[in-house]
Amino acid sequence: MWSLRRDICGPIAIRLAHMPQIFGRSFNWFANVSIIGAIAVASLLLGIILNVNRLDYVSHVGMSKDQPVPFSHKHHVAGMGIDCRFCHTTVEETAFAGIPTTETCMSCHSLIWTEAPMLEPVRASFRDNTPLHWTRIHDLPDFVYFRHDIHVAQGIGCQTCHGNVDAMPLMAKAQTLNMEWCLECHRAPEKFIRPREEVFNMKWVPPHDQTAAGLALVKEYQVQTSQLTDCSVCHL
């Protein structure tokens, strides 16, 4: 069997060895350059794909959206001193912070600014018993599980995720809310955690020894740091 293979393959190999080459050895540089160029282009495209979601234009950071009423957090929070929980009533108890009902709005605006044209949608909603349809600003993907109550109980302030809403005439995203951004806190919660009594304080400033103070709060609030980066924490 082996002798038969040598008898057949031997002459073929000899012929192939003496066949004229289509490309000379000097042409190898072209193949090398092509391979390197292909790798460079692929790396560039991968870099663009990985970074495009970080662009404010894509993540909508700093961009407001049309709403049925031009509600100003700056006016209500900074100007009037209204606490977040007055409107977002379930933020300490459930996953969803809650959108204020028309009745909540009218508890004030049945007495003040009663004829303001911009508030006609609110009055119509109350009069017709139909809810206002607000456009969500902080809208996470369906595969992300987030609970406001857990974050509030663990000392994560509204300002950390939503920014300085007391300075926003119109609400806009302050952070990308992508996974990379979330992991910054989940990997080192001591850098962001604050006393529970300061969670809703928009004027709170971290102490100069935030890391040390944060580590103490992490221990006090029994934050399970070893599990914060588990996939199942956010993706059920």
Helix axes 120-128, 102-109, angle to 10 degrees: 120
If we measure between CA atoms, which residue out of 103, 171, 159 comes closest to residue 134? 171
pLDDT of residue 35: 85
| pLDDT value for 13 | 54
Mean pLDDT (the chain) is 88
Residue 91 backbone dihedrals phi, psi, to 5 degrees:
-65, -25
Task: Return the exposure string of 127-151: e unless at least 16 CB atoms fall within 10 Å of the residue's CB, then b.
Answer: eeeeebeeeebeeeeeeeeeebeeb
Q: Which residue has the higher pLDDT, 158 or 51?
A: 158
CB–CB of 214/168 below 8 Å? no
CA distance 160 to 149: 14
For 5-9, 98-102, 137-141, 151-155, which range has the lowest pLDDT when averaged over its residues?
5-9
Percent of the chain past pLDDT 90, that is, above it, reads 73
The whole-number average pLDDT for the span 74-98 is 96
pLDDT digits (tens, 9 = 90+) for 28-79: 777 777 888 888 888 877 777 666 666 776 778 999 999 999 999 999 999 9
Amino acid at 186: H
CA angle 173, 136, 119 (to 5 degrees): 105
Check: CB of residue 198 under 8 Å from CB of residue 204. yes
State residue 41's pLDDT score: 85
**CA 63 to each of CA 50, 88, 149, 182, 222: distance values in angstroms, whole numbers, following the listed order:** 22, 22, 26, 20, 36
Torsion of CA 194, 99, 163, 227, to 10 degrees: 50
Give the C-alpha separation, 219 to 225, whole Å: 10
pLDDT at 118 over 80: yes
For residue 208, the Cα-to-chain-centroid distance in whole angstroms is 27
Structure tokens at 229: 């980066």
Residue 133 has pLDDT above 50, yes or no: yes
| Residue closest to 138 by CA, chosen among 207, 59, 79 | 59
H-helix or E-strand spanning residue 185:
helix 179-187
Higher per-residue pLDDT: 2 or 71:
71
Query: What pTM was computed for the model?
Result: 0.77
- Looking at residue 4, its pLDDT comes to 46
**How sure is the predictor about 22, in pLDDT bands with cuts at 50, 70 and 90?**
low
pLDDT given at position 90: 96
DSSP state of 189: G
**Does residue 145 or residue 236 have the better pLDDT?**
145
The dihedral built from the CA positions of residue 235, 219, 148 and 161, taken in this order, carries a sign that is: negative
**Helix, strand or coil, per DSSP, at residue 121:** helix
Count the residues in the chain: 236
